[in-house]
Amino acid sequence: MENIPVVELEDLKVKLGRREILHGITCRLGVSGKGKAVGLLGPNGAGKSTLILTLLGFLRPSAGRARILGINCGHNMGEARSRIGYMPENDSFVGEMTAVTFLRQMAELSGLPPKAALEKAHEVLFHVGLGESRYRELRTYSYGMKQMAKLAQAIVHGPELVVLDEPTNGLDPAARRRMLKLVTDMKEEHGMNVLVCSHLLRDIEQVCDEAVILKDGAIVHHCNLEEERRSNRSFVELEVTGDDRNLRAALPEIGAEGVSEGGGRWRIVLPAGVEVEAIWGLTAQQDLLVRKLTHRRDTLEEIFLKAMGHLSHTPGESLTL
């Protein structure tokens, strides 16, 4: 069972009618049993949901192969589905059922015996914070509660892989934080693999160890966020007035790298241990007037913008520009 990828795609093509949505995707994501999270990023229409629906067996590939936990999605979906939990993006519930009955039914459908299913339903509802309202009908829940109930039904049977489609959609900041905390707990404490589909970079950055960026039905970038985090780099967006031609040459003096976007705008990457004050010193040395300085640590935005073609070059990747 070692080193089986959570998701393995081989030249996967998916058509909806005559339109090809996924154009021959090949990749290996995550490692089964490691409790890691993979983020699926991309703008609207990139093919994220199509990929998820194909992995769940809801859509048939027109060519190629998709494997989930080592199981071919085209053939043994029954076995694969008993090991997967799925939280869809849209509202999905049975309104007339109480949360506990709903979860019990879903757990039984996934193969748990009735008694164990009931115990797990109670346990999971408390875990996601719906313990007090578990005997209420789902249609009476608020939007945030419904999102939590959707997450609960996805994990009630203790799946090896949980597929979350836009889990924080429409949540207020507090609920969003709780959702992300639960996702982190799922992988770190319960060893579940998680596949998160989102267009919110911060969510992916916060919970995922790996990220795949899709654009127009193809993978445009695959990165290891763990390594990016370990590098402990931070990013600076700088806007200056004055002659900044010598700034690129001066940046290595403080161990930094950067690219000019023109008009005095710079994207600079600071290595671990170098603080933003060094930039202030450097601009003072160069006689530059700082109009704007933004300092942050989320590397994913840089990667995403580059993958989308909005940024020609990611600072730190190369110094040839």
Partner 1 sequence: MVLPRYAWRRLYEQRLVILLTMVAFVWPLLCAGFIYLTNHLELLQGLDADFRAFIQVNGEFFRVFMYVQAGCAVFLAALAGPGLVAPDLANNALPLYFSRPLTRWSYALARLTVIVGMLSVVTWIPGLVLFALQVGLAGGWWLLANWTLGAGMVAGFLVWALILGLVAMASSAYVKWRIVAGAVSLAFFFILSGVAAMIDAVFRVTWGHVIDPAWAVNRIWCTLLGVEPPDGPGAGASTLALVTFVLLLVAVIERKLRPVEVVR
Residues forming the site for partner 1 (CB under 8 A): 16-19, 53, 56-59, 78-79, 81-82, 84-86, 88, 90-97, 101, 105-106, 108-111, 139, 153, 163
Listed in sequence order, the DSSP H helices in the chain are 48-55, 77-82, 99-109, 114-127, 143-155, 173-188, 201-207, 225-230, 247-250, 277-285, 300-308
The CA-based angle 31-32-38, given to 5 degrees, is: 55
Sheet holding 71-72, edge to edge: 19-29, 7-16, 63-68, 71-72
State the minimum distance, in angstroms, from the CB of residue 67 to partner 1: 17
Dihedral sign of CA atoms 154, 81, 12, 15 in order: negative
Residue of 108, 109, 104 lying closest to 152 (CA atoms)? 104
State the minimum distance, in angstroms, from the CB of residue 75 to partner 1: 13
State the minimum distance, in angstroms, from the CB of residue 28 to partner 1: 22
State the minimum distance, in angstroms, from the CB of residue 11 to partner 1: 22
State the minimum distance, in angstroms, from the CB of residue 138 to partner 1: 8
**CB nearer partner 1, residue 148 or residue 270:** 148
**CB nearer partner 1, residue 41 or residue 149:** 149
**CB nearer partner 1, residue 146 or residue 176:** 146
Q: What one-character DSSP code corresponds to residue 271?
A: P
State the minimum distance, in angstroms, from the CB of residue 261 to partner 1: 38
| CA atoms of 246 and 158, how far apart (whole Å) | 57
Long-range contacts of 316-320 (CB under 8 A, 24+ apart): 316/233, 316/257, 316/269, 319/257
Q: What one-character DSSP code corresponds to residue 308?
A: H
**CB nearer partner 1, residue 7 or residue 288:** 7
Token duo for residue 229: 């985090």
**CB nearer partner 1, residue 114 or residue 252:** 114
**CB nearer partner 1, residue 108 or residue 210:** 108
